[in-house]
Amino acid sequence: MLQSFRKYQALQNDYLLFDAIDAPLSFTPAQIVAMCHRRTGVGADGILIVSRDAAGAFRMDIHNNDGTEAAMCGNGLRCVGKFLADSGRIAPGDRCEVLTKSGPRHVTVLEHGPDVSRVIAGLGRPRVLDDRLVLNDLAFVHVDVGNPHIVHFFEATAPRELAPGWNLQMALSLGPELEHALEGGVNVGFAVPTGPAELDLVVWERGAGFTQACGTGATAAVTAALHLGHVGKSPIRVLQNGGIVDVTLDDDGFAILDGPAHFVFAGTLPD
C-alpha cells in the first residue's frame, strides 16, 4: 500500500505532511529517519501528522528527522495552516486552533495562493527562564516557547553582511555539543542585532541539527532581545538563511510569527 504525503516548507524549513484526519496514522522512528534522509529518502527537517481529536479539533504531531518527537514547531505550524487552507478545511482569514503537545496554538492564512501563502501562527506566551546562563564561556538567555531554546547575542560590530557567517560558524561548531547541555536537550540560537527592529539568526535545532530557519527559534531570539534591550518595540524582523519572518509580542506577551509558507510537491511512499 502507498502512503500519500505533501511536502511543505516555510523559510526552507521543510516537512513531509501526512493527513491523518480521517484515519489514524503513525510511523516508527526508523521509518521517519528513512523518509527524511536527504539522499536515500524524500528529504526533510521532519514530519508533521495532522489529525483531529475526539472533539473534532485539529491536532499537529511533530517528529524530527532523527525520529524523536518535538513538542512545538513554529514553521511547521504555519505549514499546517497552509495545508488546512489548501485542503479547504479552513478559509483564508479564519483563525483556526491547532492542538500541540505544548498546548493549543492558532493559525490564520492571511493571503492564500496555490504555491505560497502568508500564514501567521500564534505561539503562546514565551517565557525567559534564565538570562544569565553561561555555557562554554558564552552567555545565553534560556527561553521557553513551548520547546526549550538558548540564545547567544553577538555585538553588531562588523558589516551586516558578515553577521550570518559568524552565526553559522558558531552554530556548526558548538551546536552539536550545546544541544545536550541541558537536560532533555535544547535548541541553540546565535543572534546578531543589526538594527532597532532586526536580528540575524542561525539555529541549531534539537533533533534536526542545522536548519535553514526555525520559527520558535526566531520567537525565542526576539523574546530574549526584547528582554535584554537589544531591540526596540516589536514587530522585529528576523533574517535567517531560509528567509525573513516577523515576530510580534503583544502587550500581554503573546507571540505571533508572520511569514510565507510554500507547498512544494505531493507524492506517495510505500507503507
Supply the residues annotated as catalytic: 73, 214
Does an H or E element contain 79, and which?
Answer: helix 74-86
Give residues with Cβ within 8 angstroms of 174, minimum separation 6.
136, 138, 188, 204
Q: Is the peptide bond before 196 cis (omega within 30 degrees of 0)?
A: no
Give residues with Cβ within 8 angstroms of 236, minimum separation 6.
197, 198, 199, 222, 225, 226, 246, 247, 248
Work out the number of other CB atoms within 10 angstroms of the CB of residue 271: 8
CA quadruple 180, 174, 11, 151: dihedral positive or negative?
A: positive
- The Cα-based distances of 2 to 9, 160, 271 in angstroms read 23, 48, 5
